[in-house]
């Protein structure tokens, strides 16, 4: 989770992206605006200069057509706009309205066009600034009129426009950066909430939850975060309950052992009958303690998702017969219905699961009556049938929970873990286990293993 050195965070990246985007867009807009405006303004200026030149040329023609007037007199009467200069070329003789401007200021191509009797327009430089030159031949009086209009005000307008547009682009970029920064800050705010909630949970305040939100984008995060915390809390509570149950389960045999040893001591040599009774108790409780520990170890292995051995193909019927013979139940009938699909699994673990079912039948069902084997749909089922009181409907899923005790414990209490071990072993094999009613009364515990053993997995 440590940020990589030299890498930008989400906020910096997002701020930079927004700024860059704003910069590009506003620059494009500004340049476009500038070019369009310049094109238009320059066009306007040229048109104005041309119109003015024609007006002045007409004035000159009128003046010169009046008998006796000289070019310089007529030139004085023209009123070019401020800064503009009118030049007249009368067969090589140049007249000008300004002293600083002369023949040399009129570009050659304009003069050439006028000489050929064409009006033309061109750009030139006048007193260091750009200017428009318009040449108009006036053949009626044998002159060519040139008007040079400086465009300094156009240039300054364009400069101002450029500055304004550049400032606008820079401002837009800054606003973009701000927007990017604040938008990402807003986007990241819920992440900060998540982080502080996670820190609170890590500190042990398991009741911490993110507040509900109506924001559909955030609802997903909030929902999954909260359900994660709930799952975590539930898991922790389950573990704590399990630890408490384990402690409770071990306390009983230890109590009996401590008390029996006291009895044993005081009966020593005085009362052999009592001594034997106490010794029997010690014997029984030590075994019970041992079995509890075995079951807890097995449960730990299953919790870790470890199959004791790699699944191997096995003959379920042989396993069942072996288990029955092994536990002194060789007399129990085994019935096989139809051909059995082969299954795979860990023999020692399934053996112990079967033993647990048989012991459960002893303890609560008056002993196993029969074991049935059959092929189900996609599975092979082992049915352990007893004729006891059966399991009430409401308890049928609960019997497989750890330390769930249905009914009284009787004189030989189990560890409270047997059936949960069966369930978890079968689950580790990809199968499932359930209990149903034996037709005519009693309980039938069913182990269903996937046919072909393809469901067997070493762990998840």
Check if the beta carbon of residue 253 is closer than 8 Å to that of residue 288: yes
Is 266 a binding residue for other proteins by CB under 8 A? The answer is yes
Strands 85-90 and 93-96: antiparallel
Window 228 to 247, contacts with other proteins (CB under 8 A) = 247
Is residue 253 a contact point for other proteins (CB under 8 A)? yes
Q: Which is nearer to other proteins, 118 or 276 (CB)?
A: 276
Binding region for other proteins (CB under 8 A) out of 38-46, 228-236, 280-288, 433-441? 280-288
337's CB contacts (< 8 A; 6+ apart) are 372, 373, 374, 375
Determine which residue in the list 207, 377, 408, 460 makes contact with other proteins, applying CB under 8 A: 408
List helix spans (H) across 268-334: 272-303, 316-326
Which residue pairs from 67-71 have beta carbons closer than 8 angstroms and sit at least 24 positions apart in sequence? Answer: 71/95, 71/143
Piece of the chain touching other proteins by CB under 8 A; list 47-55, 234-242, 301-309, 411-419: 411-419
Report DSSP letters for 198-219, one per residue.
HHHHHTT-TT--PPP---HHHH
Using the minimum distance from each CB to other proteins, give the nearer residue, 352 or 402: 402
| Residue 95 structure tokens | 């007249």
Shortest Å distance, C-beta 392 to other proteins: 14
Closest approach, Cβ 247 to other proteins, in A, equals 8
* Residue 435 Cβ vs other proteins, minimum distance, rounded to whole Å: 19
Instruction: Tell me how far the alpha carbon of residue 305 is from its chain's centroid.
Output: 29
Q: CB 290 → other proteins: shortest distance, Å? A: 14
Which of 277, 306, 314, 340 contacts other proteins by CB under 8 A? 277
Look up tokens 């004729």; give the residue. Answer: 387
Q: Which of 84, 86, 88, 278 binds other proteins (CB under 8 A)?
A: 278
CA atoms within 13 A on the CB side of 415: 28
How far apart (Å, rounded) are the C-alpha atoms in residues 309 and 35? Answer: 81
Stretch that binds other proteins, among 26-34, 292-300, 371-379, 400-408 (CB under 8 A): 400-408
Q: Rounded distance, CA 422 to CA 409, Å?
A: 19
147 scored as a contact of other proteins (CB under 8 A): no
Which uninterrupted H or E stretch holds 374?
Answer: strand 368-375
Please identify, using beta-carbon distances, which residue of 158 and 277 lies nearer to other proteins. Answer: 277
By CB under 8 A, the count of residues binding other proteins is 30
Q: Which of 160, 262, 268, 397 binds other proteins (CB under 8 A)?
A: 262
CA distance 459 to 449: 16
81 neighbors 148 (Cβ within 8 angstroms): no
> Are the C-beta atoms of 367 and 403 separated by less than 8 Å?
no
Q: Which of 10, 220, 232, 258 binds other proteins (CB under 8 A)?
A: 258
Q: Does 118 bind other proteins (CB under 8 A)?
A: no
Q: Which residue in 256, 292, 323, 425 binds other proteins (CB under 8 A)?
A: 256
Which listed residue (248, 276, 309, 398) binds other proteins by CB under 8 A? Answer: 248
Instruction: Choose which of 79, 255, 268, 397 interacts with other proteins (CB under 8 A).
Output: 255
Stretch that binds other proteins, among 32-40, 70-78, 184-192, 409-417 (CB under 8 A): 409-417
For tokens 């401020």, the residue is 82
x/- letters, 331..350, toward other proteins (CB under 8 A): --------------------
343 neighbors 451 (Cβ within 8 angstroms): yes
Q: Measuring CA to CA, which residue among 324, 392, 311 is closest to residue 357?
A: 324
291 in contact with other proteins (CB under 8 A): no
Q: Name the CA dihedral angle for 95, 97, 102, 103, rounded to a multiple of 10 degrees.
A: -50
Q: Please report whether residue 205 would count as binding other proteins according to CB under 8 A.
A: no
The residues that bridge with 87 in the sheet, in sequence order, are: 96, 146
Stretch that binds other proteins, among 167-175, 282-290, 299-307, 362-370 (CB under 8 A): 282-290
Among 152, 187, 259, 341, binds other proteins (CB under 8 A): 259
Does position 279 interact with other proteins (CB under 8 A)? The reply is no
Q: What is the DSSP string of 246-280?
A: HHHHHHHHHHHHHHHHHHHHHHTTT-HHHHHHHHH
Binding status of residue 417 toward other proteins by CB under 8 A: no
The owner of tokens 């149903």 is 436
Q: Indicate whether 296 belongs to the interface with other proteins (CB under 8 A).
A: no
Shortest separation between residue 368's beta carbon and other proteins, angstroms: 23
Residues that bind other proteins (CB under 8 A): 247-248, 251-256, 258-260, 262-263, 266-267, 274, 277-278, 281, 284-285, 288, 405, 407-413
């Amino acid at each position: 989770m440590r940020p990589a050195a030299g890498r930008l965070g989400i906020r910096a990246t997002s701020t930079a992206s927004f700024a860059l985007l704003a910069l590009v867009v506003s620059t494009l807009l500004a340049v476009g605006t500038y070019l369009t405006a310049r094109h238009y303004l320059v066009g306007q200026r040229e048109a104005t200069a041309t119109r003015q030149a024609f007006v002045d040329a007409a004035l000159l023609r009128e003046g010169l057509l009046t008998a006796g007037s000289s070019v310089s007199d007529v030139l004085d009467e023209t009123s070019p706009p401020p800064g503009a200069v009118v030049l007249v070329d009368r067969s090589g003789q140049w007249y000008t309205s300004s002293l600083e401007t002369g023949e040399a200021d009129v570009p050659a191509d304009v003069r050439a066009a006028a000489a050929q009797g064409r009006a033309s327009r061109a750009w030139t430089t006048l007193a260091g600034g750009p200017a428009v030159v318009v040449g108009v031949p006036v053949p009626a009086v044998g002159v060519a009129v040139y008007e040079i209009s400086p465009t300094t005000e156009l240039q300054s307008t364009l400069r101002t426009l450029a500055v304004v547009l550049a400032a606008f682009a820079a401002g837009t970029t800054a606003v973009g950066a701000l927007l990017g920064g604040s938008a990402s800050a807003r986007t990241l705010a819920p992440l900060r909430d998540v982080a502080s909630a996670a820190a609170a949970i890590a500190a042990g305040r398991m009741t911490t939850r993110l507040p509900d939100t109506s924001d559909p984008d955030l609802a997903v995060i909030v929902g999954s975060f909260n359900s994660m915390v709930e799952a975590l809390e539930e898991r922790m509570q389950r573990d704590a309950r399990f630890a408490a149950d384990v402690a409770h389960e071990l306390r009983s045999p230890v109590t009996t052992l401590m008390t029996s040893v006291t009895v044993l001591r005081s009966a020593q040599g005085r009362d052999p009958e009592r001594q034997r009774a106490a010794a029997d108790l010690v014997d029984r409780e030590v075994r019970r303690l041992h079995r509890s520990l075995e079951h807890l170890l097995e449960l730990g292995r299953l919790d870790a998702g470890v199959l004791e051995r790699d699944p191997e193909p096995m003959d379920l019927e042989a396993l069942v017969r072996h288990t029955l013979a092994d536990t002194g139940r060789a007399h129990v009938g085994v019935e096989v219905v139809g051909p059995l699909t082969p299954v795979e699994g860990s023999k020692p673990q399934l053996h112990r699961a079967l033993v647990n079912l048989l012991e459960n039948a002893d303890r609560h069902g008056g002993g196993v009556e029969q074991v049935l084997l059959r092929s189900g749909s996609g599975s092979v089922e082992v049915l352990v049938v007893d004729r006891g009181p059966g399991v009430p409907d409401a308890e049928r899923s609960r019997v497989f929970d750890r330390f769930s005790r249905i009914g009284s414990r009787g004189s030989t209490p189990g560890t409270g873990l047997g059936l949960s071990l069966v369930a978890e072993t079968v689950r580790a094999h990809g199968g499932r286990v359930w209990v149903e009613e034996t037709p005519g009364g009693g309980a039938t515990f069913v182990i269903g293993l996937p046919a072909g053993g393809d469901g067997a997995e070493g762990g998840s």
